[in-house]
A and B are shown apart, each in its own frame.
Chain A
Amino acid sequence: MSGFVKSKSSIRRRLTIQLLCGATILTICLVLIVRSFAQQLAEQSQDNILAASLTSILDSASIQEGQIAVDIPYSAFSMLSNLADDRVFYRIDLNDEFLTGYADLPRHSLSANSNEPFFVTGPYRGFDIRSVAATRKLALGEQPIDVLVIIAQSRNGMQETLSEISHKVILFGSGFFVLSAIIALFAAQSTVEPLTRLAASVARRGPQDLRPVIARVPEEMAPLVQSLNQFIERLGTSLKRSEDFITEAAHRVRTPLATVRAQAEITLRRVDKDENRQALREIIRAIDDSSRAARQLLDHAMVTLRTDHLERHQIDLTGLVRESVARVQAVANLKDITVIFENTAPSPIQGDVILIQNAVQNLLDNAIKYSPPDSQVEVQLGRKGPWVILTFQDQGRGLPDSDATLLTERFVRGDNVADTVGSGLGLTIVEEVVRAHGGTLSFENNPDGVGACVSISFLLS
């Protein structure tokens, strides 16, 4: 039944990958942005402290007793000590001549009147330094004097802080990524969930269940479900139409057949010639065959209809079987077949009395039909746990060697019964009835090699 479905990638996988890609890009952006922000902040704060230090030194420059004095405040350097492993270098020039500090500290190419602090990054003594310079004009008598102060600090501390921040950010980013990944997996899962649920609920349906899907589904799936429902409806309609057609056809055929059979019987009594009688018997046999088929088609249609809307009543299976056995007694007697029914205690079950009657009838018919004259059919009613087991045992030719389970398919007959009238619907009906009641059907050949044994079981109520 289940055909091969061509599938192309998976929505869940694709969704997961897309979400993960998104999370990766976001994480990388986050890490880069925070890092560059931290760098800016660290550089800014170093520059601020350097500028403050520079200003305090420039402010200390004054003229005292006709001399330029630069009295570096203690705080000018000590304020620079709050960063890890930072060295301080400085230089003070008067009118472009070195006054004090580190004589080899590179001078900035300052513009002439730069009172604003001027920042430069560069190498000095093997360190990466950030230096700031500014000048201040003093007047010694008539003579203007330029005081230039340069303060430099190594950037190791800042780099260290920065790499620490980077580590934290990367750690944080990884956490963020893992969290997003988990969320992505959940999101993909929950997106596919309604689809999976719909597929499962459709797959769970019995073969006769052609009701529309009424479960609530997400908006996006509504068109699919709508189409599915329309498809189911069309299928149902078309099935019903063909069932109706068969029923109608069988019904229409039965009455004329009965008429023809009656005519043939009458004619048979009148005809004397052997070959004519033989021909008429053949005709009657064929008519029997046809009308039986028609009846079973009708039965089958009826069974299908009733199993769709199963009515459950309390039934005594023992009584039901006894009645059915009594009903076939006449036919059995014609073939000198004894139907034995072990009369046992009541076996109450829940079910549709007409359907179960029909199933039992079919099994009895089969047993008698395939039994040779002067043999016996044994009907047994037993219990096994919560089950009531009804067994029909005949002494006929048994089941075919080929796959016996095929016998429950419509119009399939055993390949060893070509000489017997039959439609191939009997076991189909039985199987449908048993299944509708939640019971089981099994058949096997008798262990001693003669005849078949068919069992059906129902739940005790």
Chain B
Amino acid sequence: MRFNIFSALLTLLSVSLATPGHSFDIEHQQNFVSRASKPEVLRILSTADIDLFTPMILSFQRQNPEVTVNYDVVSSTELMRALQDEQAPYDIAVSSAMDLQIKLANDGLALAHNSLATALLPDWGKWHDYVFAFTQEPATIVISREAFANFGIPKTRQDLISILRDHPDVFRGRVGTYDLRNSGLGYLFATQDARTSEVFWRLAEVLGNLDVQLYCCSGAMIDDVSRGKIAMAYNVLGSYAMAREDAKDKIQIIAPRDFTTVMMRTALIPTTSQNPKVAAKFVDHLIVSAWSAEETSVAYPFPAINRNPAASDTSLRPIRMGPGLLVYLDGLKKRRFLTEWQNAILQR
């Protein structure tokens, strides 16, 4: 690197990193070490893949060379555990599970942050002064071009249901979606789908009949579709799929016309932050990279933000931040929803 940053790649690919002092599972870890003699340390707890997020960190370090960034990747449920139950001392929490982020803020586990940058955000792009969105990522259907060659490309969920129903022999065991029991993001997408349309349950029924494969994460689903292991994956993060240059000609990414749920990746500063000043700088950096109207030199690794999603495409349904998201986090409610989902999907 030309910059005075020494980027030491300490990517530990162990699935579980047993570090003494905490019991939540860290999937990956990477340190972006500053060369400054007395570096400040910024600890980020995130659900975003390291590869995807690295450009944001590097551009931040270019502007703030004195900061060493420790980046820990966890699942959204582990992130919740780390911050809520264990009070782990992180400076930034980045998560795709908006409901969990809202719950953290609602329960008083986030610090308020107010700056020129946060003023850039529209009201729907933040929850008061606590949770700040910096991406817009649609939940998409990813299909294998090869497998669907004869059936045409489904434009809506109803199209998809028809195709799947008419060719059970082709698709049996070759469809996939999130396992809602393990994935916070999958659960968020599913509950939002269920809120929006009854078609979600019909699709779940059809998927259940086809012996659906359940996944922990979008990346694995995209892998399997591109490899031809499965023909279709439902509710895949479009941003991940689009980022996969290698699979470009094998997969087709579909934003359903009936409605496309749009998740916003959000950041907040936990109350356990040791360095809230630097954390605030990092949040501002995320916001400016994403929302600034001017072209920034920063490489922004996510789909460009649409400041007015409702006007440009009526099918886009950004998930609204607010206490409503807490409803499906209620223990009773969640158990109920998962039971219903299992009844549909697992076909017992």
Q: Which of A's residues lie within 8 Å of B, judged by CB?
A: 69-78, 80-81, 84-89, 92, 99-101, 125-127
Contacts and interface: CB of A to CB of B under 8 A. Distances in A.
A101 B334 CA distance: 12
Given A85-B128, A88-B326, A78 B336 contact: no
Given A84-B128, A85-B128, A99-B332, A74 B108 contact: no
B108 A78 contact: no
Nearest to A126: B108
Contacts of B172: none
A76 B326 CA distance: 10
Given A73-B327, A85-B129, 15 more contacts: A69-B336, A72-B327, A72-B332, A75-B324, A78-B322, A78-B324, A78-B327, A80-B323, A81-B320, A81-B323, A81-B324, A88-B106, A88-B323, A99-B332, A100-B332
A457 B273 CA distance: 100
A71 B324 contact: no
B348 interface: no
Contacts of A70: 332
B195 A81 contact: no
Contacts of B331: 100
Contacts of B323: 77-78, 80-81, 86-88
A71 B336 CA distance: 8
A77 B333 contact: no
B128 A74 contact: no
- Interface centre among B108, B128, B323, B333, by most A CB within 10 Å? B323
Interface in B287-345: 320, 322-328, 330-333, 336
B245 interface: no
B10 to A, nearest CB: 37
Interface string B96-112: 00000000011110000
A78 B191 CA distance: 14
A76 B322 CA distance: 12
B192 to A, nearest CB: 10
A74 B332 contact: no
20 contacts: A69-B332, A72-B332, A74-B195, A74-B327, A75-B324, A77-B326, A77-B327, A78-B320, A78-B323, A78-B324, A78-B327, A80-B323, A81-B323, A81-B324, A87-B108, A88-B106, A125-B107, A125-B108, A126-B108, A127-B108
A88 B321 CA distance: 13
A390 B182 CA distance: 125
Contact of A81 (B322, B332, B336): B322
A62 to B, nearest CB: 12
A126 B271 CA distance: 13
A87 B325 CA distance: 12
A349 B326 CA distance: 106
Nearest to B106: A87
A77 B331 CA distance: 15
4 closest pairs, A vs B, by CB? A78-B324, A81-B322, A88-B323, A85-B128
A100 B330 contact: yes
B1 to A, nearest CB: 41
Nearest to A127: B108
B322 A72 contact: no
A84 B328 CA distance: 22
A85 to B, nearest CB: 4
A383 B153 CA distance: 118
Given A77-B324, A78-B323, A101 B330 contact: yes
A72 B333 contact: yes
Nearest to B109: A125
Contacts of B128: 84-85
B274 to A, nearest CB: 20
Contacts of B328: 74
Contacts of A81: 320, 322-324
Contacts of B322: 77-78, 81
A86 B102 CA distance: 11
Nearest to A82: B322
B333 A71 contact: yes
- Interface centre among A74, A78, A80, by most B CB within 10 Å? A74
A89 B105 CA distance: 12
A74 B336 contact: no
Contacts of A86: 323
A360 B252 CA distance: 127
